[in-house]
């Protein structure tokens, strides 16, 4: 693996990058573990952000009609480190990665190799997971409480037995299409402390649970446990305590209905910055409300926890609208300059609309240099996507260097969760592609895990 210097685009005090130190062969598919996937690059992701920019800046002569296209850089070692973090904080809870968050082929393979399960919501997601190799269908939970009957039938055919429900109609469908399913009742919990609330659409209020369980019994269905979801992007982990208390009540309702529940599914919602806090709330609550965990299986459905920090996006400034003649520096806190970049809310930045995110650009390169002096004067700016719709605003107000021009590059971190999976091609703009890297720290371990998986499954 080539040894390279770690270059941090956030560090404005760096001396100018030494281009002769950047190996020029890193874009060559030197590690073809999965021949049908894009190459896996070695070296730090920041290096590849820079290499991608250098490649774009030097390619106009190649007549590529989209030479300055935006691109992601994925750091697979970040996904790996999150898994180690999960195992150290929640060793008793088995993660079932929520595929919808980012069904990236490398992420799915790495997680499969690490032994996680998968939360799938559709036939498409189930096929995607089963297609990566012989993944045991017992490692999948079909965690969509409202499924098309054909999807239920197909799950039965594929051997996916574990599935959630929260209403009586679902029970009739499952009784017809998959009578041997192992059902999990999804209960309603407090989701008011989350970016994306789910309770308006899913979850059985506790008062309805005894009736649902009686109906399941009447239909000779097997209910094995309880699930909940506190909402995606949960910013107050104390809600897990209340959720576990309700799950306990639902377990007791199961006993009253003649079932012996053995599965507790604590859902998703885990925010990177609050993970340790959430883990400790959960652990304490589970120990309090489920003092006897023998014979019990506990799982979770983390999505954004695994991927949000693992992807960065590099975008090119394709246009600029500025007042003719320069305005004095710092004259106004109203945006004076509009920058247009080549990904927007119809693409990767759909997370602004759907996932209620705010994003923060930083300068990746300016005037052909990766070095932006800390003394660079700033002005209040806005950043827009490339489409013809005015809703396509990435950043309504932000401070950017006054010298920033068309052709310069802006970077965005934390772009791995709920971004490209929901991107459209509206107005003819393609979804930004990914450069895959093994990452900086623990890259060789990631390589080892993937190489072993590839040897067994390709």
Of 226, 230, 201, 231, nearest to 216 (Cα)? 226
119 binds ligand PLP (CB under 6 A): yes
Residue 167: HSE in the Cβ half-sphere, 13 Å Cα cutoff: 10
Q: E strand or H helix at 177, and its extent?
A: helix 168-177
The answer to whether 26 touches 2, Cβ cutoff 8 Å, is: yes
How many residues at the interface with ligand PLP, by CB under 6 A? 17
Q: Which of 388, 393, 395, 421 is catalytic?
A: 388
Shortest distance (Å) from residue 54 CB to ligand PLP? 34
The answer to whether 345 touches 398, Cβ cutoff 8 Å, is: no
Three-state SS for 59?
coil
Shortest distance (Å) from residue 213 CB to ligand PLP? 20
Q: How many CB atoms lie under 10 A from the CB of residue 319? A: 12
| Residues 126, 157: Cα–Cα separation, whole Å | 12
268 binds ligand PLP (CB under 6 A): yes
98 binds ligand PLP (CB under 6 A): yes
* 300-329 positions binding ligand PLP, by CB under 6 A: 301-305
> For residues 173 and 229, which CB has a smaller minimum distance to ligand PLP in the complex?
229
The answer to whether 395 touches 413, Cβ cutoff 8 Å, is: no
> For residues 123 and 232, which CB has a smaller minimum distance to ligand PLP in the complex?
232
Query: Which member of 251, 270, 384, 453 binds ligand PLP (CB under 6 A)?
Result: 270
Query: Which member of 45, 269, 347, 416 binds ligand PLP (CB under 6 A)?
Result: 269
| Residues 381, 396: Cα–Cα separation, whole Å | 8
> For residues 163 and 372, which CB has a smaller minimum distance to ligand PLP in the complex?
163
Handedness of CA 143, 144, 147, 151 (dihedral sign): negative
108 binds ligand PLP (CB under 6 A): no
267 binds ligand PLP (CB under 6 A): yes
143 binds ligand PLP (CB under 6 A): yes
The residue range among 105-113, 262-270, 311-319, 329-337 that interacts with ligand PLP, by the rule CB under 6 A, is 262-270
Going from the C-alpha of 330 to that of each of 121, 242, 401, the distances in angstroms are 49, 48, 11
Q: What is the DSSP letter of 298?
A: E
Shortest distance (Å) from residue 352 CB to ligand PLP? 16
Does residue 395 carry a catalytic annotation?
Answer: no
Supply the residues annotated as catalytic. Answer: 388
In the complex, the residues that contact ligand PLP under the rule CB under 6 A are 98, 100-101, 119, 143, 229, 232-233, 267-270, 301-305
């Amino acid at each position: 693996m080539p040894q390279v210097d770690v270059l941090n685009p956030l560090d404005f005090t760096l001396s100018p990058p030494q281009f002769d130190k950047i190996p020029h062969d890193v874009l060559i598919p030197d590690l073809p573990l999965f021949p049908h996937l894009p190459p896996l690059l070695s070296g730090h992701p920041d290096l590849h952000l820079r290499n991608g920019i250098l490649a774009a800046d030097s390619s106009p002569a190649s007549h590529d009609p989209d030479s300055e296209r935006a691109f992601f850089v994925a750091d697979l070692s970040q996904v790996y480190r999150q898994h180690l973090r999960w195992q150290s904080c929640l060793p008793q809870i088995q993660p079932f990665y929520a595929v919808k968050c980012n069904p990236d082929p490398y992420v799915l393979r790495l997680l499969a190799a690490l032994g996680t399960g998968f939360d799938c919501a559709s036939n498409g997601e189930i096929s995607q997971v089963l297609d990566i190799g012989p993944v045991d269908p017992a490692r999948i939970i079909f965690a969509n409480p409202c499924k098309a009957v054909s999807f239920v039938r197909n799950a039965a055919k594929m051997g996916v037995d574990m599935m959630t429900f929260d209403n009586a109609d679902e029970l009739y469908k499952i009784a017809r299409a998959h009578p041997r399913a192992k059902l999990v009742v999804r209960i309603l919990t407090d989701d008011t402390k989350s970016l994306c609330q789910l309770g308006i659409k899913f979850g059985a209020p506790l008062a309805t649970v005894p009736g649902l369980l009686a109906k399941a019994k009447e239909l000779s269905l097997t209910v094995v446990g309880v699930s909940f979801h506190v909402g995606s992007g949960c910013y107050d982990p104390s809600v897990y305590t209340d959720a576990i208390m309700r799950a306990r009540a639902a377990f007791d309702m199961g006993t009253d209905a003649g079932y012996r529940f053995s599965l507790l599914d604590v859902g998703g919602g885990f925010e990177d910055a609050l993970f340790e806090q959430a883990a400790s709330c959960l652990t304490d609550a589970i120990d309090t409300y489920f003092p006897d965990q023998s014979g019990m299986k506990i799982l979770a459905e983390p999505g954004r926890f695994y991927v949000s920090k693992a992807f960065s996006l590099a975008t090119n400034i394709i246009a600029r609208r500025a007042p003719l003649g320069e305005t004095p520096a710092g004259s106004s806190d109203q945006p004076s300059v509009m920058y247009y970049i080549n990904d927007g809310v119809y693409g990767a930045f759909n997370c602004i609309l759907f996932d209620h995110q705010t994003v923060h650009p930083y300068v990746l390169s300016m005037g052909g240099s990766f070095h932006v002096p800390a003394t660079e004067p700033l002005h209040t700016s806005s950043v827009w996507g490339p489409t013809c719709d005015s809703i396509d605003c990435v950043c309504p107000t932000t401070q950017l260097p006054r010298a920033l021009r068309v052709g310069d590059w802006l970077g965005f971190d934390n772009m791995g969760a709920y971004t490209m999976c929901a991107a459209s091609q509206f107005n003819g703009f393609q979804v930004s592609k990914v450069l895959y890297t093994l990452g900086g720290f623990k890259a060789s371990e990631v390589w080892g895990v993937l190489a072993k998986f590839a040897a067994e499954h390709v």
